[in-house]
Amino acid sequence: MGKAIIAVNDLRKDFQVGEVTVHALRGINLKIESGEFVAIMGASGSGKSTMLNILGCLDKPTSGTYELDSVSVAELSKNERATLRNRKLGFVFQSYNLLPRTSALENVELPLLYNPKIKARERKEIALQALEAVKLTDRMHHKPNQLSGGQQQRVAIARSLVNDPVVILADEATGNLDTRTSYEIMSLFQELNEKGKTIVFVTHEYDIARLASRNVIFRDGHIIKEAQVTERLNVQVLLESIPANDGFD
């Protein structure tokens, strides 16, 4: 067993909407260890994104504790959380969130611009390595509007990798993609996980969840089920199960 990368204790998050208080998270306890590949599932509105945003230090919990790589996040200032995001976290969004009219390479370099320790030359080298990891070296000078959805998401994954984070968080990263492209993206994640990266992702697809090593199920702001995946699927098998072409031959 590796060491705990994420340790969450009695975490609560309330949203105040006018007079009404929405209890998005109602006491979450969760530990994720180094090298795990965790899928979070649950109905719409059950609090998955809220949870992931807090894990990603984009949002602050109303109460409870959260330790990321032995750092107590609740006590950090806004700026310290920003720096933590830059050094320890990678985020992959459902809608890619690439800078428009900016080349893939420059999009991947972006997080490194916010790290003063990295020199210009290093920056390019690291970004190229990340693009290589997502197999997009040949597209490095393409702008987002010249790339397919799957390719854009691969650029986004390269961007999340570039600062060598302790954990990658992905919120419905395959939500906008067709099945085959989703599997290709998942195969990337799986590869990264096999190399030791800790990954936490939210998904609605059961087969994709079964690629993970552990599933965590949310309902109404609670974790209702948490289980190691017993019959873990391999993404290559899934890919082979659908025809390589459009299936109309």
Partner 1 sequence: MNLLNLLKIAVNALLLNKLRAFLTMLGIVIGVASVIAMLAIGQGSKKSIQDQVSSMGSNMIIVMPGIQQRGGVHMGSSSSKSLSVDDVEAIAMHCPSIKMVSPEVRSSGQVIYANNNAPTTIYGGNENYLGIKMLTVTSGREFASKEVQRAAKVCLIGQTVIDNIFEEGVDPIGKYIRFNSIPIKIIGVLSEKGQNTFGQDQDDLLIVPYTTVQKRILAISHIQTILASALSEAASSSALTEIENLLRQRHDISDDEEDDFEVRSQEELVKTFSSISDILTVLLGVIAGISLLVGGIGIMNIMYVSVTERTREIGLRMSIGGRSIDILLQFLTESILISIIGGVIGILSGLGASQLVSSVMKWPVAVMPQAVLASFLVCTAIGVFFGWYPARKAANLDPIDALRYE
Residues of this chain that interact with partner 1 (CB under 8 A) are: 53, 56, 58-59, 78-79, 82-83, 85-87, 91, 93, 97, 99-102, 106, 110-111, 113-116, 120, 159, 163
Asked whether position 46 contacts ligand ATP by CB under 6 A, the answer is yes
Beginning with the edge strand found earlier in the chain, give each strand of the sheet holding 37-42 in spatial order.
89-92, 167-171, 198-202, 37-42, 214-219, 222-228
Residue from 175, 35, 24, 31 nearest 92 by CA: 175
Q: Please choose which of partner 1, ligand ATP, Mg ion, none residue 22 contacts, taking the beta carbon within 5 to 8 angstroms, the exact cut-off set by kind.
A: ligand ATP
Among the residue ranges 39-47, 98-106, 178-186, 226-234, the one whose residues contact ligand ATP (CB under 6 A): 39-47
Q: For residues 44 and 79, which CB has a smaller minimum distance to ligand ATP in the complex?
A: 44
Q: Please choose which of ligand ATP, Mg ion, partner 1, none residue 15 contacts, taking the beta carbon within 5 to 8 angstroms, the exact cut-off set by kind.
A: ligand ATP
Largest Cα–Cα separation, the chain:
59
Rg (CA), the chain: 18
Alpha-carbon torsion 58, 182, 222, 67, what sign?
negative
Q: For residues 48 and 123, which CB has a smaller minimum distance to Mg ion in the complex?
A: 48
Q: Is 86 exposed, middle or buried (0-12, 13-18, 19+ CB in 10 A)?
A: middle
Among the residue ranges 31-39, 42-50, 146-154, 176-184, the one whose residues contact ligand ATP (CB under 6 A): 42-50
Which 18-57 positions form the footprint of Mg ion (CB under 5 A)?
49
CB atoms within 10 A of CB 195: 9
Rounded to an integer, what distance in angstroms lies between the CA atom of residue 232 and that of residue 110? Answer: 35
Question: Do the beta carbons of residue 164 and residue 158 sit within 8 Å?
Answer: no
Asked whether position 11 contacts ligand ATP by CB under 6 A, the answer is no
Q: For residues 10 and 132, which CB has a smaller minimum distance to ligand ATP in the complex?
A: 10
Among the residue ranges 16-24, 117-125, 153-161, 207-215, the one whose residues contact ligand ATP (CB under 6 A): 16-24
Buried b / exposed e over 128-155, threshold 16 CB at 10 Å, is bebbebbebeebbebbbeebeebbbbbb
Phi/psi of residue 169, each to 5°? -110, 130
> Which residue among 33, 34, 49, 87 contacts ligand ATP (CB under 6 A)?
49
Q: For residues 49 and 176, which CB has a smaller minimum distance to Mg ion in the complex?
A: 49
Rounded to an integer, what distance in angstroms lies between the CA atom of residue 249 and that of residue 238? Answer: 20
Q: Please choose which of ligand ATP, Mg ion, partner 1, none residue 106 contacts, taking the beta carbon within 5 to 8 angstroms, the exact cut-off set by kind.
A: partner 1
Which residues in this chain contact Mg ion in the complex, by CB under 5 A? 49
Binding site for ligand ATP (CB under 6 A): 15, 17, 22, 24, 42, 44-50
